[in-house]
Structure 1
Amino acid sequence: MSSPDEANANANVEEKILQYEKFISDVMRRDLQRLLEQRDSSLQDSQQLKTDVDLGCNFYVQAEVTSCCNPAPSLPVCQRGLVRIFVAVGYGFFVEMTHEEALRFIDKKTNQLTAFTDQLTKDSSKIKANIRMVLEGLRELQGLSDLPESRRREVY
């Protein structure tokens, strides 16, 4: 028969295990899900810089702006003879730019979104590593043996 001290110690271990499991499910997995959603959203934003243009009512076309050598009568032409286009810069705002300005803007925006996506990927990897570390701690607290590689799976 176990002593009251052993029963108390076992109760404390069980309580710690429940706290760790609750922390993993309530905090770490929620944070991981949020970061992965942000990363996916950022990837979609960067893809929109390279894909079709929505003309409205979900009608998409691939846009091509003619050069200034053969301008269409309907295109706006600035004083230097360069065709200007409107570029969506975010939050529903559009800025009139030349081709060169638009290309520089798109390059900077793509680099910014790529850096943001990379940071979110690193953060999600850290959370996955923390989840794995806490799960290993739980395994040790519960006295379970290490699972073979074939039975392991991703935690999220």
Structure 2
Amino acid sequence: MDKYIEEKVKKFEEFVDGRLKPDLVKAIAERDKLFEQQKIFSELKRNIENLEKNSVSSIKTLVNLGSEVYMQAEVPDTRHIFVDVGLGFHVEFTWCEALRYISVREERLAKQIDDYTHLIASIKAQIKLVCEGIRELLQIPVE
């Protein structure tokens, strides 16, 4: 095999292994985080709707203190809830305000998930393109 071709193939393989595959892993991990956030907001929305539907004004619940240690808690007024809006900030919302906020967040999360899905598809296409280039350089027949 020609030395020039060997160097080209090596550079292509390094590009795939050193750049494209890590980018792909990172994009998939970021999209998975967004899916998790989407799931949390969906559960919160369902819980608020259940509270509204059943006209629940106070509840007793178990709160996870960490390391699977729980403590019983009583919420005397459920009409106002605190929602984590990011960066460690929690905002007090009424049920209606919380549902509106959740809808906006869900729309934004869906858009971000869609963007990451396109990015993942693009990276996979680039990997396939580089692998096809390697195949052509090595003159391996298409199966």
Looking at structure 2, the residues matched to 44 and 50 of structure 1 have their Cα atoms a distance apart, in angstroms, of: 10
Q: Which residue of 1 aligns with 2:41?
A: 49
Letter in 2 for 1:11: K
2:82 pairs with 1:107? no
Q: Which residue of 2 aligns with 1:39?
A: 31
Q: Which residue of 1 aligns with 2:76?
A: 74
Q: What is the aligned residue count?
A: 124
C-alpha offsets along residues 100-132 of structure 1, whole Å, 9 cap, x if unaligned?
Answer: 110110000111111111100100100000100
Looking at structure 2, the residues matched to 71 and 14 of structure 1 have their Cα atoms a distance apart, in angstroms, of: 72
- Structure 1: runs of 5 or more not aligned: 1-6, 53-61, 77-82, 148-156
Q: Which residue of 1 aligns with 2:64?
A: none
Looking at structure 2, the residues matched to 24 and 40 of structure 1 have their Cα atoms a distance apart, in angstroms, of: 22
What percent identity do the matched residue pairs reach? Answer: 30
> Comparing both structures, which one devotes a greater share of its residues to strand?
2
> Comparing both structures, which one devotes a greater share of its residues to helix?
2
Aligned partner (choices 129, 133, 138) of residue 134 of structure 2: 138
State the 1:66 CA deviation. Answer: 5.4
Letter in 2 for 1:65: L
* TM value normalised by structure 2: 0.77
- Structure 2: runs of 5 or more not aligned: 59-74
2:127 pairs with 1:125? no
Runs of 4+ residues over 3 Å off in structure 1: 62-67, 69-73
Could you say which structure has the larger radius of gyration?
Answer: 1
